[in-house]
Chain A
Amino acid sequence: MSTATQTARTSHTEIPRTTATAGSTGQVILKRAAGSLFVLWAAVTLTFFVLRLVPGDPVTTILGGHSAAPSAETVAAVEAQYGLDQPVLLQYVNYLAGLATGNFGTSYVFKVPVLDILGPQILPTFQLAGLALVFAWAIALAFTLLTVGRGRVLDGVGRGIEVFFAALPPFWVGIMLAVVFAVILGWFPVAGDDGFKSLVLPALALGIPLAGFIAQVTRSSFEEALAQPFVLSARARGLSDLAVRVGHALRHAILPGLTLSAWAVGSLVSSAVVAEIIFARPGLGRSLVDAIINRDLPITLAVVFIIATVYILVNLVVDVLYRVIDPRTNDKGAGA
């Protein structure tokens, strides 16, 4: 993890810093939108060609698994319907044309428009990823606030648990949580997607390892922030330890964790698959894995599209949050 530590540093060179994207706010937004569109396009294009060129036969999956013996005419009909008999480049152009009109195509496996399949998966996934993120932050912040700089023992314990959390395979956590808290103790439903209660364990499965990562970066930046003179200033003003931690150090400490979270949300959506499998939840992760295994290209592409969009949006949100938390970001290039 890159622990991007931003310590205020007085620069002795007198070279003014320049920002990469100079220009009015409108221009910046336009550039940003164009960049996002490019990333979307590239992600989809990459997926399309890679999956098309990878060996594997979609027709078989289209026509059912074992116990199927389709006729040659059926196979031909399938190839014609999904345009599999066309040159790959033409298939690609057709796909893009469809995409431009919001048409993601029809699933090879489900025979249903892709959005009909993925529509019901989107919300549960975002709920899961969102709650996992909330848990991760809650755990990370609790560790940071409660153990950093609280003496060698607590500090060591906090540090140790964080590393331990980060070293846990998410699916392993999921299985253990399911066995203990759902099957044995019965505190939570074993699986399913109904209500907040069913969301807790899968979100913890994904959130606990993530918490380890976030806590690690937050801890080191929190330590750094605590060592900053402004913290001493605040304490010299008569602030309590907790007030200093929450009011001053924390704000500085969550910035790297925020960057990490932006990355994590994108990957959470796809790595949610393990929690989705263990807890039998609907979700994009499962759709993605199943689609790749079955070479269900339209679904794969759509999931990639959704994840890329989420990634872009989350980065945008984090950017904004970053500016809210650290208003200095806005000043860059303003000759401060």
Chain B
Amino acid sequence: MTDYRTNNDGGGTASAVPAGSAGEANSLLNIEGLNVSFATPRGTVDVVKDVSLALAPGKALALVGESGSGKTVTARTLVGLNAANAKVNAGRLEVLGRNALKLGERQWRGLRGKDIGYVLQDALVSLDPLRTVGQEIDEALRAHGVRGKAARLERVHQALLDAGIPDPEVRAKQRSGELSGGLRQRALIAQATVLNPQLVIADEPTTALDATVQAQILELLAGLKEQGRGLVFISHDLAVVSHLADEVAVMQGGRIVESGRAAEVLSNPRHEYTRALINAIPTGAAKGRRLSAGAPVSAASLSGSPGRATEFSETAPAIVARDLVKSYPGPGGTRRTVVDGVSFTLERGRTLGIVGESGSGKSTTARIALGLTQPDAGSVTLGGFAWSGTGADQVSEEQRRRHRPDIQLVNQDPLSSFDPRFSVGRVITDALEAGSIGTSGDRTERAVTLLDQVGLPPSLFNRRPLTLSGGQRQRVAIARALALQPRVLLLDEPVSALDVSIQAQVLDLLADLQSQLGLSYLFISHDLGVIHHVSDDVLVMKDGKVVETGTAADIFTNPQTDYTRQLLAAVPELPAREPAAHVAAAPGLTVKEAS
């Protein structure tokens, strides 16, 4: 079990304790000088350093930070659920008025679920996929000695209702996999709150949810707060934080670098890290502005290399898609239409953003555009030549193959797109070889140049992609895409898996490359902020259909359809803040990233 221990010399804490909350008799949390370290075969790793927190009932505290900042470990310490090799010590660690340092496993168990509810990130994996949500909720009741099957069932249904799930009798008998993302997340909250705990801890409760669903869940969490419970939640999304939190603690490298009232911290950040974080958020307002502090990369080195022969027209649009239809066989002999009459045009040198929630058909549209999926109807031309079509217009893979270098893909998970046998250098030289670019002798040199172009040092050449950070991997994927000297890049959620500061760097890189190489981008994302930031034109999709299309400015400022309006309304926004002055004050900030 986790070793909890009082930190005797933890008096002189440097961290900020939210004013006015420390020492209150009815405070839910009162933590001073918390340190958590993990014993590993390679020595002790300090993960949480000198953290002090406090929380009063009816308030929400947000832990903000990027991967590896220690926020999850901090949160788990509050429910006594750190790994067996964790060592916890603190000057003071009071949870619900009890000294958590002295709690045994049995006592912790009495608290968990009953007095402290813990909500994890992704309900699909955070609820047992083999059991019904009813069983999961019931389990919490049984674990805390609630007797009577009928009584428990009643409470299960009530909990589901309270979490905003209609038809609880039906839903209780379904498994998490059978529920939609929103219902699933509600069920997850229901199982954590069925016993009305005073304290609810939520770890990234809305991450990976579509915007509209996210809005609903935030509302639900806000409701909990209104019921007088304390809420500790973790998020990397400052906009979400601004909506829900009363207090914010910004964590970096295991320490709290800034904390205070949410409105104050977000609108007037004092610490440079906080400022950088806020600045890195892509929004429409920041359009055209660099999100990160890094210097623009230069593509000058590439200008000298011989261009690849191509039939890509210098006059025609980069991509013209007409009336694309794609359906798949569904259960019972039915067919499910995934893409239904989608048309769009990607002009040369511009970015077309496709936005939509999961299941809207945007990825299938991208695959058709890439020539990897054959449409049932419709056609695609790429740089003026026939690229994909049906019937008489059908284009064979053999015909397509020589044009493939013109359009390249960068997707969300670059690692899976690398041959596991390949080193970074090999990934790129292989692409060069595939495009017959350069000679076998100078491909290494070219690969180094390409790495440089995406801001990676040559020292990474022999590394395995697995050992790189997420941002580095995405850069390698971009370098590989560039290796073939494409005209169009298809970017399918390229930054969705990245921390906000890394996302900022990659978005900046993409912007630099576009301006210097004259690339056309087909940019797919569920994140409206990102789409707003990067796109010239926007295509809004829902259920396989195009809902609305227009310039980014039009779509975001003057949406024509209810759906788009709904979508935009669901996006939480940061409160207005002092403009760019603070940003300029943080030059050369490098955000460290652990993946």
Contact = CB atoms under 8 A, between A and B. Distances in A.
Interface of A: 8, 10, 12-16, 18, 22, 149, 151, 228-230, 232-241, 243, 247-248, 251-252, 325-328, 331, 333-336
Contact of B191 (A18, A232, A233): A233
A11 to B, nearest CB: 10
Contacts, number: 123
B19 to A, nearest CB: 30
Contacts of A18: 328-329
B129 A236 contact: no
A232 to B, nearest CB: 6
A239 B126 CA distance: 15
B203 to A, nearest CB: 9
A239 B139 contact: yes
Interface in B325-356: 328-331, 333, 336, 338
A336 B177 contact: yes
B218 to A, nearest CB: 20
Interface string B549-577: 00000000000000000000000000000
A305 to B, nearest CB: 36
Nearest to A247: B139
A243 B95 CA distance: 25
B328 A237 contact: no
Given A228-B125, A229-B126, A333-B331, A238 B192 contact: no
Interface string B280-319: 0000000000000000000000000000000000000000
B177 A328 contact: yes
Contacts of A15: 328, 338, 364
Contacts of B116: 236
B112 A327 contact: no
A151 B338 CA distance: 49
6 contacts: A12-B411, A15-B338, A18-B328, A233-B188, A248-B131, A327-B175
Given A16-B336, A238-B112, A239-B109, A326 B130 contact: yes
B122 A229 contact: yes
A336 B336 CA distance: 13
B121 A237 contact: no
Contact of A251 (B111, B112, B130, B177): B130
A8 B129 contact: yes
Nearest to A249: B128
A16 B328 contact: yes
Contacts of A233: 118, 120, 126-128, 136, 188, 191-192
Contacts of B81: 232, 235-236
B587 interface: no
B140 interface: yes
Contacts of A241: 105
Given A232-B81, A233-B136, 9 more contacts: A8-B125, A15-B364, A232-B118, A238-B110, A238-B111, A238-B144, A241-B105, A328-B130, A336-B178
B493 interface: yes
Instruction: Please provide the 7 A-B residue pairs with the shortest distance between their CB atoms, ordered closest to farther.
Output: A236-B118, A238-B113, A237-B113, A237-B140, A238-B112, A229-B126, A238-B143
Interface in B382-441: 411-413
Interface centre among A228, A237, A325, A328 (most CB of B within 10 A): A237
Interface residues of B, number: 53
Given A14-B338, A15-B328, A236 B130 contact: no
A236 B124 CA distance: 16
Contacts of B267: none
Nearest to A24: B332
A315 to B, nearest CB: 21
A39 to B, nearest CB: 28
A12 B111 contact: no
A268 B246 CA distance: 64
A235 B363 contact: no
B361 interface: yes
A7 to B, nearest CB: 8
B344 to A, nearest CB: 17
Nearest to B336: A16
Contacts of A334: 331
B114 interface: yes
A333 to B, nearest CB: 5
A325 B128 CA distance: 12
A237 B136 CA distance: 9
Q: Which of A232, A248, A331 has the most CB of B within 10 A?
A: A232
Given A16-B336, A238-B140, A230 B129 contact: yes
Nearest to B181: A10
Contacts of B364: 13-15
B84 interface: yes
B128 A248 contact: yes
Contact of A16 (B131, B175, B330): B330
Contacts of B528: none
Contacts of A252: 130
A236 B143 contact: no
A8 B124 contact: yes
B143 A239 contact: yes
